[in-house]
Amino acid sequence: MNTKGLIPKTWRLLKRIFLILFIGQFVYIVLLKWIDPPVTLTQLGSLFTGHGLKRDYVNYNEISPNLKLAVISSEDQLFADHSGFDWKSIEKAMAYNKRKPNRTHGASTISQQVAKNVFLWQGRDYIRKGLEVYFTFMIEKIWGKRRIMDVYLNVIEMGDGIFGAEKAAQVYFNKPAKNLTRREAAMIAACLPNPKVFKVKPPHVHILSRYPVIMRQMNNLDSDDDILAIISTGSKN
């Protein structure tokens, strides 16, 4: 068997495959600026592990500003100001994890959570984290904050097999997401760290203790012009 030319041919093939994959993922990122993700690995994982897949994608203007403010208050209060990464929180989390390796503490921004949930799989391996950095950077540059929030509120898990604001609002409060009150929005936001465990209905003890804190944080942030520009209705980018 002649192996002399095999290595160059294999290398050329690998380069072509890499180029196709690179172009493909870039085109997909650009397309998702305007269209909703057809499905995510997290959603498929929920479906195939018996947790179900219940979701209803809706337009950004059909989601209450209360919920947008609630998730910013709960998950990422610097969302309007950072470029995808909250470096101070990351440093604190790394220091905490070094002190207590058996109790991992995360510091993911909303942008990072979108990158992970839309493009990647769940886990903490270095390959996934590296890809998360790349996709976070790309969506910040290509999508902008409002689109990131739009996708976040449509794909994030908000209960056991419940994905997105519209389905969560219908299941928990029997109303569309655009009509969520501040209290209801804060209760949904309170479940996000662990939506399979922190039940909104009937409310888990974590929800009952956490949502009043989120409401106070909402009161502190609802006069911030940068945040108001993100959570308001309308077509402004």
* Residues ≥6 apart with Cβ < 8 Å to 76: 86, 109, 110, 111
pLDDT of residue 80: 94
In a domain, 95, yes or no: yes
| pLDDT at residue 73 greater than cutoff 50 | yes
Contact yes or no for 216/183 (Cβ under 8 A): no
Number of domains in the chain: 1
In a domain, 14, yes or no: no
In a domain, 172, yes or no: yes
Domain that holds residue 164: 36-44+51-225
CA proximity to 182, closest of 61, 60, 66, 62: 66
Residue 35: DSSP 8-state: S
- E-strand ranges in 95-182 read 157-159, 162-163
In a domain, 25, yes or no: no
Residue 204: DSSP 8-state: P
Q: What is the pLDDT of residues 102-158, one digit of tens each?
A: 544 456 899 999 999 999 887 777 888 899 999 999 999 999 999 999 999 999 999
Q: What is the pLDDT of residues 174-189, one digit of tens each?
A: 999 999 999 999 999 9
In a domain, 31, yes or no: no
In a domain, 8, yes or no: no
Q: What is the pLDDT of residues 3-48, one digit of tens each?
A: 666 777 778 888 888 889 889 999 999 999 999 999 998 999 999 9
Instruction: Find the length of the chain.
Output: 237
Q: What is the CATH number of the domain that holds 124?
A: 1.10.3810.10
Q: What is the pLDDT of residues 88-115, one digit of tens each?
A: 766 665 554 555 455 444 568 999 999 9
**Between β-strands 54-55 and 162-163, what pairing exists: parallel, antiparallel or unpaired?**
parallel
In a domain, 99, yes or no: yes
* Residues ≥6 apart with Cβ < 8 Å to 192: 71, 74, 75, 156, 158
Torsion angles phi and psi, residue 80, rounded to 5:
-70, -20
In a domain, 116, yes or no: yes
